[in-house]
Amino acid sequence: MALSYPQDRTCPYQPSPGYQELGRGGPLHRVTLWDGSSLWMVTGHATGRKVLADPRFSADRSRDDFPVVLPRFEAPIFKPIAIIGFDPPVHDVHRRLLAPDFGLKHVREMRPGVEELAGRLVDDILRKGPPSDLVEDFALPIPSMVISQLLGVPYEDHAFFEEKTVGLLQAKDAEGAEAAGRALWDYLDELVTAKERTPGGGDGVLGRLAGRVDGEDLTREDLLRIALALLIGGHDTTSQMIALGVVTLLEHPDQLAAFRAAPPEAVPAAVDELLRMVSVTDVSGVRVAKEDVEIDGEVIRAGEGVLVSSSMANRDPAVYEDPYAFDIHRSDGRGGAASARQHLTFGFGIHQCLGQNLARMELEVAFTTLFARIPGLRTATPVAELPSRSGGTMQGVHRLPVEW
């Protein structure tokens, strides 16, 4: 019988045992979804790249045959999702509009501000004293504050948009997701209206784009969809990557010692190894075949769905030596020939994560600041007992109690 998808992890930084078993049997598998439909699941790295780079697969969430991986994705708010859920040419037009804001140059300019923010958050944690919930006190405020500043969303409203984001992404059914998503939509609608009334368009990316709405390349609805995707995509994934990255480092004291001792130029590779290990979204991309496609000896028929598993592709033994081992020196040739950076955590092809420069920078700053400033940091709850997200694909912990 085909494995049912998704399966919960039993360790916060390793794929579920069911996927590990599946991965041993080749790169492409059939799995069963909640509604009894079936889906192709890719666990191989090369096969995953082939699927994600092939224009015969569509990312268009508004297609009737697009796979509904979880009940909440039936909510109309998800159809379509900006950028990630569009094929070219619309995808390319919207992605180009945003490219300068997420490019390396802009992200480098943002770095001192993020360093200052991370330092301030650690000051507060130390002042308050142990224990601290690292999700609330550190992992969430960094990406949340950064994305609100970048977009021009008032950070004072963070409790609202963080709660609604969790409501949208963790909803058990379509109704719950729709209610949370609509609340966010209405909030962003009001915000964009205020920016439209501000001479020059107001601050942030949303202010800039409000001045670009032309009803053609960018409609007002497009702008609201983009705002929603960036606000959600900009904080939830990165915050959970910070939290699970901290857990991974604390669980590997030798690697944590090596991370602390690493010169600044070695930090990006260590962060890539963390991104590979944690594979926080668990998925590199979901697509539907627009026509029959032959891949690795199997024919994926037109209308069939495909999901590329990042956690498994990132552990393909054809690419990574000792793939389940966490080794921050992987990229310098000591831990296997493959660079950690080849991971599929940010996807691959035209939809590869728009926010990856920003996410990498936030992660570098978060891990270096935290472990430099709080040397004795340890989890206050056994890792096996951490309240973990379940029943979905996006990984995470609701709380991360720590002491020092």
Element housing 57 (H / E): strand 57-58
The two structure tokens encoding residue 292: 């029959």
CA 397-357-334 angle, to 5 degrees, is 80
Site for ligand HEM in 149-208 (CB under 6 A): none
Residue 278 exposed, middle or buried by CB count within 10 Å (0-12, 13-18, 19+) = buried
Q: Is 48 in the site for ligand HEM (CB under 6 A)?
A: no
Nearer to ligand HEM by Cβ, of 23 and 355: the residue is 355
Residue 376: CB minimum distance to ligand HEM, A? 27
Nearer to ligand HEM by Cβ, of 174 and 358: the residue is 358
Residue 382: CB minimum distance to ligand HEM, A? 25
- Give dist(CA 55, CA 346) in Å, integer: 18
Q: Is 59 in the site for ligand HEM (CB under 6 A)?
A: yes
Q: What are phi and psi of 294, to 5 degrees?
A: -95, 125
Coil, strand or helix at 288 = strand
Residue 201: CB minimum distance to ligand HEM, A? 19
Q: Is 358 in the site for ligand HEM (CB under 6 A)?
A: yes
Q: Which of 237, 309, 379, 388 binds ligand HEM (CB under 6 A)?
A: 237
Name the nearest CA neighbour of 242 among 364, 352, 153: 364
- Give dist(CA 101, CA 119) in Å, integer: 24
Span of 112-120, 134-142, 235-243, 330-338 interacting with ligand HEM by CB under 6 A: 235-243
Q: Is 234 in the site for ligand HEM (CB under 6 A)?
A: yes
Q: Is 280 in the site for ligand HEM (CB under 6 A)?
A: yes
Torsion angle defined by CA atoms of residues 67, 72, 74 and 77, in that order, rounded to the nearest 10 degrees: -120
Residue 345: CB minimum distance to ligand HEM, A? 5
91 neighbors 350 (Cβ within 8 angstroms): yes
The two structure tokens encoding residue 60: 């268009």
Q: Is 347 in the site for ligand HEM (CB under 6 A)?
A: yes
Q: Is 309 in the site for ligand HEM (CB under 6 A)?
A: no
Q: Is 365 in the site for ligand HEM (CB under 6 A)?
A: no
Q: Is 284 in the site for ligand HEM (CB under 6 A)?
A: yes
Residue 199: CB minimum distance to ligand HEM, A? 27
Nearer to ligand HEM by Cβ, of 125 and 230: the residue is 230
Span of 156-164, 199-207, 291-299, 351-359 interacting with ligand HEM by CB under 6 A: 351-359
Beta strand pairing call for 401-403 and 57-58: unpaired
Q: Which of 40, 161, 326, 346 binds ligand HEM (CB under 6 A)?
A: 346
Q: Is 12 in the site for ligand HEM (CB under 6 A)?
A: no
Q: Is 83 in the site for ligand HEM (CB under 6 A)?
A: yes
Name the nearest CA neighbour of 114 among 399, 360, 374, 372: 360
- Beta partners for 39? 31
The two structure tokens encoding residue 238: 């990165």
Beta strand pairing call for 283-289 and 305-309: antiparallel
Nearer to ligand HEM by Cβ, of 170 and 345: the residue is 345
Instruction: Please state the separation of Cα 235 from the chain's center in Å.
Output: 9
Residue 333: CB minimum distance to ligand HEM, A? 25
Q: Number of C-alpha atoms within 13 angstroms, CB side, residue 60?
A: 16
Coil, strand or helix at 366 = helix
How many residues bind to ligand HEM according to rule CB under 6 A? 25
Nearer to ligand HEM by Cβ, of 135 and 358: the residue is 358
**Percent of residues in the chain assigned helix, strand, coil, to nearest 5:** 55, 10, 35
Nearer to ligand HEM by Cβ, of 97 and 280: the residue is 280
Q: Is 238 in the site for ligand HEM (CB under 6 A)?
A: yes
Q: Is 230 in the site for ligand HEM (CB under 6 A)?
A: yes
Q: Which of 28, 31, 69, 84 binds ligand HEM (CB under 6 A)?
A: 84
| Beta-carbon contacts of residue 89 (< 8 Å; ≥ 6 apart) | none
* Three-state secondary structure of 23-38: HCCCCEEEEECCCCCE
Q: Which of 33, 229, 256, 370 binds ligand HEM (CB under 6 A)?
A: 229
Q: Which of 241, 249, 288, 328 binds ligand HEM (CB under 6 A)?
A: 241
Phi-psi region of 396 (alpha: psi -120 to 50; beta: other; left: phi over 0): left
Chain residues in the site for ligand HEM (CB under 6 A): 59, 83-84, 95, 147, 229-230, 233-234, 237-238, 241, 280-281, 284-285, 345-347, 351, 353-355, 358-359
